[in-house]
Chain A
Amino acid sequence: MPENISIRIDGEYVAAQEGQTILEVARAGGKYIPTLCWLAGTSSVGACRLCIVEVSGVGRLLPACTTPVQDGMSVTTTSEKLTQYRRIAIEFLFSERNHVCAVCVSNNHCELQAMAQKLGVTSVRYPYAYPKLGVDVSHPRYVLDHNRCILCTRCVRVCTEVEGAHVWDVSGRGIRSMIVCDMNRPWAQASSCTNCGKCVQVCPTGALAEKGFAVDEMVKQDHNMTRLTARRGGHS
């Protein structure tokens, strides 16, 4: 039986159980902490650094999604300092890959874009890396666009822990990290993929998307129009 403990979140006392994370306790208590990589039902990795919180007595900022609660802990979820660091985290994500909202499949349905708006990121102070990255269109139904990937590993976790297929993983390290399919093969050749589409549904950005929704994929259904205009032209 886990022990009942009490912690303070933004000055309010909240009941918690040992083994819970700060994020779980805060969400249960109706407190909002921004997250990008966190995904319900899967393990937490603390990759996006947006859920960072201040814990009194601890000099550094801690990720709420992976820090377990301790009795008597006092947590601050919003402050000037936290907003500043969360903005930095978002700006780094933008500068690392080619996030061009105007031509993205996920424009207006993007968690990264929404988060940037919410945190008031109006410009990126760091030089853009403009990496030359590929787009995998081999799969008949889905697309993987590395340019939009923020390496949150939601797809990796949902595929491994929920679907049980483990098609995705992260190759390399540091700035060279990339999401890979099986042995770095085109998606269509992945023998382990079940085509379930869970990864596409959980992707916070436009990195994994369904085909047919990209800006360039729109097809004008104008054959009726031309027939009508031709008929009109014949009468007048």
Chain B
Amino acid sequence: MALSLEEQSFADRTITAHAGRPGALLGILERVQEHHPHKFLSSEILEYVAAKTDVPLSQLYSVVTFYALFNLEPQGDHTICICRGTACHTRGSRSLLQRLRLELGLPEESEDGADKLCMTTPDRKYSLRTVACFGQCALAPVVEVDHAIFGHMNEQTLHREVEHLTKEKKK
């Protein structure tokens, strides 16, 4: 899949805007990812950015795999983020995660060693992610739905929020 001219010119403009600034790479990649409708960095765009910024491919790949912020897979329209921090874990975030997985029909993935989990439904409607902590432990368990924080979640309230998203979509 080749890059569209629009994507190329956006990347060019972003690179020019950040030119010569130390540590510009993160900013460029963040903008480029945000610009994509599915909020991810394709290998084509990464190669394009590498060529334009003179950053070695391996270094670029190293950067995008180090930061959890960058997605290498297309993301869903809605993002549901479940906190797996200690406070949220003790208040049952594992069962929330399990429940949502079943509801969205996502496969079981072993959590051993994996600090971050990121899965997207095949229809690209929902992305399910885990984070280490939102810093809102008093509200545990915390779930973030499309950048809005919800505290004291249980399976019913989480189900309601997801249902709400589905209805909004139909409208």
Contacts and interface: CB of A to CB of B under 8 A. Distances in A.
Is B one of A's binding partners? yes
Interface of A: 160, 165-176, 180-184, 191-192
Contact of A183 (B61, B114, B115): B61
Interface in B54-84: 56-62, 65-66
B58 A173 contact: no
Interface of B: 43, 46-47, 56-62, 65-66, 113-115
CB-CB nearest 9 A-B residue pairs: A166-B56, A169-B58, A169-B62, A171-B65, A182-B57, A172-B65, A183-B61, A183-B57, A175-B113
Given A169-B56, A169-B61, 9 more contacts: A166-B59, A167-B56, A170-B62, A171-B66, A175-B113, A176-B113, A182-B57, A182-B58, A183-B46
A174 B58 CA distance: 18
Contacts of B114: 176
Contacts of B46: 183
A173 B70 CA distance: 14
A192 B54 CA distance: 12
Nearest to B65: A171
A172 B115 CA distance: 11
Contacts of B60: 183
A182 B66 contact: no
Contacts of B57: 182-183, 191-192
Given A176-B113, A183-B43, A183-B46, A171 B59 contact: no
Contacts of A191: 57
A176 to B, nearest CB: 7
A27 B43 CA distance: 45
Nearest to B57: A182
A58 to B, nearest CB: 29
B104 to A, nearest CB: 24
A192 B60 CA distance: 13
Contacts of A172: 65-66
Contacts of B113: 175-176
B59 A180 contact: no
A166 B50 CA distance: 13
A169 B43 contact: no
Nearest to A167: B58
A191 B47 CA distance: 12
A17 B71 CA distance: 47
B72 to A, nearest CB: 9
Contacts of B62: 169-171, 180
- Most-contacted residue by chain B among A167, A172, A183, A184 (CB, 10 A): A183
B117 to A, nearest CB: 12
B3 to A, nearest CB: 15
Given A183-B43, A183-B46, A173 B61 contact: no
B61 A174 contact: no
Contacts of A175: 113
Given A183-B43, A183-B47, A173 B66 contact: yes
A42 to B, nearest CB: 16
A170 B62 CA distance: 6
B61 A182 contact: yes
Contact of A184 (B59, B61, B66, B115): B61
A169 B62 CA distance: 6
Contacts of A167: 56, 58
A49 B56 CA distance: 28
Contacts of A168: 58
Contacts of B61: 169, 171, 180, 182-184
